[in-house]
Structure 1
């Protein structure tokens, strides 16, 4: 049956959904509406892991091969704390330039017959005529905001300030760098996405941000200061703000955790960051958006009413998101409580950095947790106890804060 679908937003979620729907039924009439000019996306690179790549190969091998071909990969994580450094071997991670990812998905969508309309802004009061309208227009979704009361949208701002930057330095591992200043600690996360450079996200507590004058500095002054603070890890390479052609300069933000009580309204459904956000420190945003697209396409393939399909999509994705959102909350809290961990010996500090998703960690003295975690590696009984205590704490936190879900 021919179905007309309008995707509002030409990011990874909207493009990938259009690909999957066209693969399911080439007769579907699908248009992706994107307000920005083609090729003018923000950001530098995105991260993902082997599990996502496997799922991409299952759903569309053609685009998956192109994504894998243009990705870089790493296995090591490196933490720099002042003049100390620790390197650990971990799971295989991948990085790809956001521009390149969008180019791959757009080319694949066009080859399947999807219409892509750039510089075409959809207003919330005049949605396209379609059987299904997909709001894939990000955390600031105008489509969702128009009906925020129906969706039950809630936004909670995090404590720390952060800025999304790029650098010509190509990191060979997922890199953490912590620098102490007279106003407190400031840190960066760096990861390569190609031979041209890396993404570099800088974060600090609000008192450090104001103490260093970053709240008053213009973009050039701020970048110069950050380059000095991270000169050792950058190796003399510059930091850069948003790429030319996108518009506004790079700016400091506080992370917005967005949730919605429901994800659909009649023939309108939310996808990706328009439906939910997870803290950037776990590197899952693009993965979750693509997985949303997979789940929605699968639900729409089944013989059911549109409302039943949208309900199934939401139900499945909420369940899948719960552990990821929990991990993101605890990860953000770890950084907000950095002084609790930063003075530990380097090996212990880096080990607890890797354990920052644990619901048990905030409630156990750090050095004791480290010893328990080391012992659990040799004891199945201790591993079970650690998981049980963490699960009980997570359930208690969820019961006290039932809105902390997508």
Structure 2
């Protein structure tokens, strides 16, 4: 089979690895429009379950990923001048540059051609048995056939900016700061021995009230460093390292598609779907797309059957993550509902932000219910049963 992957991100590179491992005779090329090593994004997160999956499918790249990742098993929240810390599931962080370097090296070693600074236009698809659109959230290939794919893009309310910092956090860190224009907060996690990722988010009225909509990059970073001085422990924030542009504030774009393939063109990763960054699942879902697509191509007798099987499997598997991401984003958009709780209770509900029940129950009551549910199995079943039904009822009222 001749395969062309358009986009040299995690999904495209890992798919090329898996297909070469399945059959070294496959002719596989990955086209990446940017120079090698020019990626932007600081660090990415993942969890133990993904690492176990990667070890099962390509132990060599999984070992390299494990060796270059940093770990944490606690979360800490700074709320005003108070701090609370909770132990949680082990998490992992790795620099996006290092992740792509590991995957590219492995792909090249297996005989994949990886062509950098080579852009594939949407008007004429490459001559191949299979063309994989792994070209990200603004996928040109998906956009070219958006009507066929049934693409929908929904922008979130809050503004966010993706930064780095020289502060090496010892855990997954949240910091919530109250200003005269409302709350602003950040999420921080380490990805190597010298730096961490720091994502800053706030409501639109806070963004404009603080002047972040008008500030240049240097002035904006100085303001944010002052606001988050406690969490940063005096360290500096770092904007985009590329000379092409400074750090930019965005509204998160949730991308969905009605179908994921058209003839021999198939979507993977952010080209197919996005989930809000606050659940830290983007890289995991992209790699799992690659695993599922490679398996479908191996197991199904024809290409159309393989692509249809891949779409059904991944669409279904994504539903829990998409629900969690939607509720997580809404939790932050409704932060004033929770922020005035005692910090340990607010942090507990932060951990419950994926729950479809939480928006419909007073926060203090939900906290007590959740504590009780840990002891009483019937209450756990009630929570699982009631949340989705309240969410569906609210959605139907909105549509009316």
Matched, 1:287 2:284: yes
Q: Distance in 2 between matches of 1:61 and 1:396?
A: 46
Deviations 1:243-300 (A, max 9, x none): 235x221100000001111110000000000000000000000000000000000000
Alignment of 1:246-325 (within 5 A): 247-325=244-322
Which ranges of structure 2 fall in alignment gaps of 5 or more residues?
A: none
Q: How does 1:53-68 map to 2 (within 5 A)?
A: 53-68=51-66
- Report how many residues are paired: 399
Instruction: Give 1:384 shift.
Output: 0.9
Alpha-carbon distance in 2 for matches of 1:53, 1:395? 34
User: Please, what TM-score do these two structures have when normalized by structure 2?
Assistant: 0.98
Q: Secondary structure at the match of 1:163?
A: strand
Give 3-state SS (helix, strand or coil) of 2:191's partner: strand
Equivalents in 2 of 1:326, 1:399: separation in Å?
A: 16
Counterpart contact for 2:360–2:390, Cα < 8 Å: no
Deviation of 1:59 (Å)? 0.5
Alpha-carbon distance in structure 2 between the residues aligned to 1:164 and 1:309? 36
| Deviation, structure 1 residue 401 | 8.7
Change (3 A) 1:360 1:155: same
SS in 2 for 1:243: coil
Which aligned pairs between 1:153-192 and structure 2 lie closer than 5 A?
153-192=151-190
Aligned-residue Cα RMSD (Å) equals: 1.2
Q: Please give the TM-score of this superposition, normalised by the length of structure 1.
A: 0.97
**Structure 2 equivalent of residue 330 of structure 1:** 327
Contact 1:256 1:277 in 2 (8 A): yes
In the other structure, the counterpart of 2:84 is 86
**Deviating more after overlay: 303-312 vs 65-74:** 303-312
- 1:141 equivalent in alignment to 2:139: yes
CA distance in 1, matches of 2:317, 2:125: 29
CA shift for structure 1 position 394: 4.4
Q: What secondary structure, in the 3-state scheme, does the structure 2 residue paired with 1:180 have? A: strand
Paired with 1:94 and 1:396, the residues of 2 have a C-alpha distance of 37
Corresponding residue for residue 6 of structure 1 = 4
> Match of 2:215?
217
- 1-structure distance, mates of 2:245, 2:257: 28
What is the alpha-carbon distance in structure 1 between the residues aligned to residue 110 and residue 383 of structure 2? Answer: 49
Q: Is the 8 A contact 2:9 2:134 kept in 1?
A: yes
Structure 1 residue 398 displacement after superposition? 6.9
Instruction: Supply the distance in 2 between the matched residues of 1:396 and 1:354 (Cα, whole angstroms).
Output: 24
